[in-house]
Amino acid sequence: MKTNFSILTCAFGIAITSMMVSCSKNGDIEAPLLKPATLATSPASVGDSVVLDTINGTKGYLKTLATGVYGARNFHQGTVPDLVDTTQWSNPASTYYYSLSNNDGGNSGNWDFKFSGTANADFTVNTSKYTLSYTNTVFGSVTSGTSTTPISGGTAGYNSLTGIGNSSSSGWYIYSIATHIMSSYQPRTYVLTPVGSGTKWKIKLNSVYKNETPNSGYAATNYPFMSFDYSAL
């Protein structure tokens, strides 16, 4: 489903496990001042951030949380810069691609994982490069030897449709029918294991909302702005 920041019409159907929300353009607080950068391939020092590469149709920023640990915030892709809020695109893409090797947005020809589907919330790895698995272990405690559960097909979608998390579900987001708000199931860490040689990664998915905070307690409209943390293992 392609989202639109000016109008996003939504309804929820359990039978097809899809949800949409009626929303309008928001005026959220912009991210804090960042160090300018043309590419985010050179991450900032610990505690600092760099902007993601707008040349590749990407907006948001990358924060260095600790040595070798990065947090992508307000990550989204699209076309036509918004004239009011320059931190977002007027025309968000239906699929967001990310390249771990570049620490930046990717494209359909170069990506390690992508966000697509309802509210761009389905997390899918590039199965030509990785297999996907999960563990109910906090991100900081996951090591290369942590036991994980494989996810057939390489996609993590919804965890629960009741607003209460399910530890045995492979999905990452919880959707509340009562409030029409999405939240991240925790503790949950995903592990990307290379099909051949390569780097093994761990990823924690945080939020679909801008600045990681819904702009309303009911049917928030400030999405999809993806937030996630990752590190090599």
pLDDT 10s digit of each residue in the chain, 233 long?
344 433 333 433 333 333 433 333 343 434 443 444 444 557 889 999 999 987 779 999 999 999 999 999 999 999 999 999 999 999 999 999 999 999 999 999 999 999 999 999 999 999 999 999 999 999 999 999 999 999 999 999 999 998 899 999 999 999 999 999 999 999 999 999 999 889 999 999 999 999 999 999 999 999 999 999 999 99
Nearest to 73 by CA among 57, 100, 51: 51
Kindly give, in sequence order, each residue whose CB lies less than 8 Å from that of residue 76, ignoring residues fewer than 6 positions away: 58, 59, 60, 88, 89, 92, 93, 96, 120, 224, 225, 226
Query: What is the pLDDT, as a whole number, of residue 11?
Result: 35
Q: What's the pLDDT at 40?
A: 57
What b/e readout covers 107-134, taking b as 16+ CB neighbours within 10 angstroms? eeeebbbbbbbbbbbbbbbbeebbbbbb
Cβ 73 vs Cβ 227: under 8 Å: yes
Q: What is the pLDDT of residue 43?
A: 83
- Spans of all domains in the chain: 33-232
What per-residue confidence (pLDDT) applies to 41? 56
pTM here?
Answer: 0.84
Q: Of 66, 148, 58, which is closest to residue 98 (Cα–Cα)?
A: 58
Whether residue 187 is preceded by a cis peptide bond, meaning omega within 30 degrees of 0, is yes
